[in-house]
Amino acid sequence: MTQFILALDQGTTSSRAIVFDHQGQIRHLAQKEFTQHFPRPGWVEHDPREIWSTQLGVVQEALAGAGLRAGDLAAIGITNQRETVIVWDRASGEPIYPAIVWQDRRTAAECEALRAAGHEDLIREKTGLLLDPYFSGTKLAWILDHVPGARVRAERGELACGTVDSWLLYHLTGGECHLTDVSNASRTLLLNIHTGEWDDELLALLRIPRALLPGVRPSSEVYGETAPGLLGARVKIAGMAGDQQAATFGQVCLRPGMAKNTYGTGCFMLMNTGPGAVRSPSRLLTTVAWDRGQGRTYALEGSVFVAGAVVQWLRDGLGLIRDAAEIEALATGVPDSGGVYLVPAFVGLGAPYWDPYARGTVVGLTRGTTRAHLARAALDSVAFQAADLLGAMVQDSGVTLSELRVDGGASRNNLLMQAQADLLGVTVTRPRVTETTALGAAFLAGLAVGYWQSEAELEALWQVDRSFEPALGADERERRVRQWRRAVERSRAWAQEDEA
């Protein structure tokens, strides 16, 4: 197979382009950071033009680096930072306001007002999401309310909106395609995840004109071709998915009960729940994972707020290490944490506790506690939090986990991965290709154009770098989890009591 797949991975801080071959191996990767704008406290914006220019630039750089031309590509796949929203002029393609980024909190008051008016249950039932400024819908309403004339122009059909996938597709096709995929659409507060369509009741609630919105399509189909003259040859654009859903597909978690965890500053964990949307008593998110044109696949999603960030704290806050890479060697110097438990609730606790007033806690200190014990407790804290999250997923879904697939920077820490296997009691598997987000976009695009024939072919391509088998007995695992939960209880409601 002489052709290749190009994946565009448009993230929060950089735009990347990766060329994959038929074996799913990377031929070339190009990356360029772009500017973060913080106009007011709690506000985060990007320049949509810079997103587009950096993405186009790395496409050209990746092709040149791989020694290829556009005609050598079978297809392009897109994956993107989710929930970030852009509104632009349909005729000119120019944005009417900066992109409001998923991290932006400016619509917190609007979300609180919707909650106070009793709309949270309706939104949760239809979208699978929590009522939070994290998601796109209230950001979109804010732009329409604050840019002069925007709402009238939107109702007349003069404006277009979308998440970053839609923005890139629109410009790649020279304005021909105004579409999104169902995985990105499911993060907007506007899509009914049970029908796969924009919901009139939700649109009315958030005051979003339907004329503004992109068409909702499957995650794997040919949407259009690159505009003539853009790359030198017209290339099919054939796959789109939000970054965490794409990573789940790239990890080939294609059957119900398969799960992946991405270890970064925080952790994103997704479990495939198959064709059924599982409502979560633990307040995990129910989201569309993907749709290959044969029906939607759903997932439960949860996040750990502080994962790799606890290592940064040991480095920058306490000065225990000079470089994050030192943590594994330091922690390996002791057989265990010596009874020390660190709960990194620096910004509260997420699922399954949902306590914004929890604060960081270290318990079990003795005169014999050393730097190494604190380092070990810090790594253990990441594994404990992920185990809590996965336990909630298993309980909510009723599906037993057999394996956790891992990626992200901290997944390279062998001690952490072994701790994760020990605390879960299941195999933890790290793939050879860790660029799973881009690989997922490539897989979705390649399937749509017949570059790969089946999901079974993708499963055969997915290669293990290393598997970590649980080495703790069940009794010891339960003892450690019990102690961890005691430590968590001591961290809870701390700030609330302080304020009282």
Q: Which two tokens stand for residue 378?
A: 């810090």
Neighbour-count burial of 434, counting CB atoms closer than 10 A to its CB (0-12 exposed, 13-18 middle, 19+ buried) = buried
Q: Which two tokens stand for residue 191?
A: 């899509």
Using alpha carbons, select from 331, 246, 342 the residue that is nearest to residue 290: 246
Task: Say what the alpha-carbon torsion angle 61, 437, 89, 135 is, to the nearest 10 degrees.
Answer: -150
Q: Which residue positions form the known binding site?
A: 12-14, 16, 82-83, 134, 243-244, 265, 308, 312, 409, 413
Helix (H, G, I), strand (E, B) or coil at 3: coil
| Phi, psi of 374, rounded to the nearest 5 degrees | -65, -40
Residue 222: CB atoms within 10 Å: 14
Q: Which residue has the tokens 């290669």?
A: 463
Using alpha carbons, select from 429, 430, 445, 464 the residue that is nearest to residue 20: 445
Neighbour-count burial of 120, counting CB atoms closer than 10 A to its CB (0-12 exposed, 13-18 middle, 19+ buried) = middle
Alpha helices (H) along 82-135: 108-116, 120-127
Give the residues across from 461 on adjacent strands.
none
**For residues 339 and 6, what is the distance between their CA atoms, to the nearest angstrom?**
49
Q: Which residue positions form the known binding site for ATP?
A: 12-14, 265, 308, 312, 409
Using alpha carbons, select from 274, 263, 261 the residue that is nearest to residue 391: 261
Residue 455: CB atoms within 10 Å: 15
Q: Which residue positions form the known binding site for ADP?
A: 12, 16, 265, 308, 409, 413
**For residues 248 and 448, what is the distance between their CA atoms, to the nearest angstrom?**
18
Q: Which residue positions form the known binding site for glycerol?
A: 82-83, 134, 243-244
Q: Which residue positions form the known binding site for sn-glycerol 3-phosphate?
A: 12, 82-83, 134, 243
**CB-CB contact of 271 with 397 (8 Å):** yes
Angle, nearest 10°, between helix axes 474-491 and 414-424? 100
**For residues 229 and 246, what is the distance between their CA atoms, to the nearest angstrom?**
29
The H or E element that residue 33 is part of is strand 26-33
**For residues 44 and 37, what is the distance between their CA atoms, to the nearest angstrom?**
6
**CB-CB contact of 85 with 162 (8 Å):** yes
**CB-CB contact of 194 with 215 (8 Å):** no
Helix (H, G, I), strand (E, B) or coil at 88: strand
Q: Which two tokens stand for residue 451?
A: 């570059």
